[in-house]
Amino acid sequence: MDDVLIVGAGPAGSVAATVLARAGVRVRLVDRASFPRDKLCGDTVNAGTLAILSRLRLAAPVERHALRIDGMVVTGGRGASVEGRYPADLYGLAISRRVLDELLLQEAIHAGATFEPGVSVQAATVTQAGGARRVSGVTASARGSVHTWPARVVVGADGRRSTLAFGIGLAAHPAAPRRWAIGAYLEDPRPAGSCGEMHIRSGRYIGVAPLPGGIANVCVVKPSGPGDPDLRDAEATLRRELNADPLLRDRYATARLIRPPIVLGPVAVDAGDGYIDGLILAGDAAGFIDPMTGDGLRFAVRGGEMAAASALLALEHGWAGVHARLARQRRDEFGAKWRFNRVLRTTVAWPSLVRLAAGISRVSPGLVRAMIEYAGDCGVARATIIAKRSTTEDTKDTEAESQFL
Ligand SMILES: Cc1cc2nc3c(=O)[nH]c(=O)nc-3n(C[C@H](O)[C@H](O)[C@H](O)COP(=O)(O)OP(=O)(O)OC[C@H]3O[C@@H](n4cnc5c(N)ncnc54)[C@H](O)[C@@H]3O)c2cc1C
């Protein structure tokens, strides 16, 4: 039996696997996909996420394959446009998820995790012990047959539509707003600069990120639902949205699409406070708010690390208090950002609020710059860098002392 079975080899699953394998735990990571695989995302790694990757010694290979991002440009229509640069010592990255996720997975394998692609998990195995329900493994189909995979701890890192979280009733889609995303790669031989872009319009927004190789990642997030003809012809919808936008029309009028767009939705997922022993959720599976603030990867990377710490606690001391501690930690570290995201998500849904915000940004661009820094998790980056420095200094001191012992 595995000590820990992690379902989903996205950033949350791979980081959890790396941390656990480094701690000497027998960890198996499974994914229904084979890697490298595409994943619809804005492809920006903000400053806070990068600092956490660096603390985990996972940043170096990622930086080698990425473009540096120095901040964000936010536009609100009617000429409102604010560029917010990250403070001089901080930066983010732009890297396709095909590359990023493969690099993080390879780090997990290198650390000692066993990886199995092509394993599609269908449900958690729930057993009854001493009157309490707990997860004791999963049922999954692989290579044409269905197996049960027992594990002492299951980490559900299976993304927004998490089979495990939805299956057990720990997640639901919020009633409103219901937005869908269309993401594509376009040729972009003359990128606008070294910033990511967020173009906020009534009820919708368009994110743009320059990627290595003269390519732009373009994501349109708009109100929609299943059966919407706009989603059936995603390329036509994407082109129409770009052509209707005075700022983007000329840049992408003749740009070639690198491959067919990916469609995904509804984007937001709410996770409740529920839990079940045996199962720990991480990344989008633990709740995904809205991609507008471009910080889902921080929740995934840091959330994967927290899930690994919780799994270690459960393996060593049992499940008492594990979920309460994890929920507290997630609230402390993520709570303010979740609230910020909810306010923005509501603002975008109301045309009058978008107009008001555009007006405010014209008279008070400093406020928007502060929001860009906050969205970029610059405070988290600072705190992580300082904590890392002091740990390194402590290690050096201990090593120096031990030479004299
Ligand atoms: C339009 C859009 C733009 C975004 N832009 C950004 C951005 O610029 N910056 C940022 O930080 N965040 C962004 N995000 C958020 C970010 O993409 C997610 O937060 C991040 O991918 C979460 O990582 P994860 O590991 O939790 O899940 P995922 O990356 O979704 O990985 C989940 C893995 O689980 C596997 N899986 C799923 N179900 C099963 C199953 N039943 N059995 C086995 N395997 C399974 C999948 O194949 C996948 O590999 C964006 C999101 C969207 C929708």
Atom of ligand 1 nearest to the CA of 44: 8
In a 10 Å sphere around its CB, with 0-12 CB exposed, 13-18 middle and 19+ buried, how is residue 144 labelled?
A: exposed
Question: Could you tell me which residues come within 8 angstroms of residue 188 by beta carbon, excluding any fewer than 6 positions away?
Answer: 210, 214, 215, 216, 251, 252, 255
Candidates 6, 28, 31, 155: which one to mutate for ligand 1, based on the most atoms within 8 Å of Cβ? Answer: 31
**pLDDT > 80? residue 358:** no
Nearest CA to ligand 1 atom 19: 296
Q: Is the dihedral of CA 137, 141, 142, 145 positive or negative?
A: positive
- Give the pLDDT band (50/70/90) at residue 197: very high
Closest to 252 measured CA to CA, from 203, 194, 293, 206? 206
**Ligand 1 atom closest to Cα of 164?**
41
If pLDDT is split at 50, 70 and 90, which confidence band does 402 have? low
- Regarding pTM above 0.85, the answer is yes
> Contact at 8 Å (CB) between 42 and 196?
yes
Pocket of ligand 1 (CB under 6 A): 7-13, 30-33, 39-44, 49, 119-121, 157-159, 163, 181, 183, 219, 221, 264, 267, 283-285, 288, 291, 294-297, 300
**Residue 250: Cβ within 10 Å count:** 11
pLDDT number for residue 173: 77
Distance 404 CA to ligand 1 centre (A): 49
Q: Are 138 and 124 in contact (CB under 8 A)?
A: yes
Residue type, 248: L
Higher per-residue confidence, 62 vs 389: 62
**For residue 8, which atom of ligand 1 is closest to its CA?**
34
Does residue 236 have a pLDDT over 70?
yes
Query: What is the distance between the alpha carbons of residues 195 and 74, in angstroms, rounded to a whole number?
Result: 10
pLDDT category of residue 404 using cuts at 50, 70 and 90: very low
pLDDT at residue number 99: 98
- Number of neighbouring beta carbons within 10 Å of residue 135: 22
Pull the structure tokens for residue 74. Answer: 């936010």
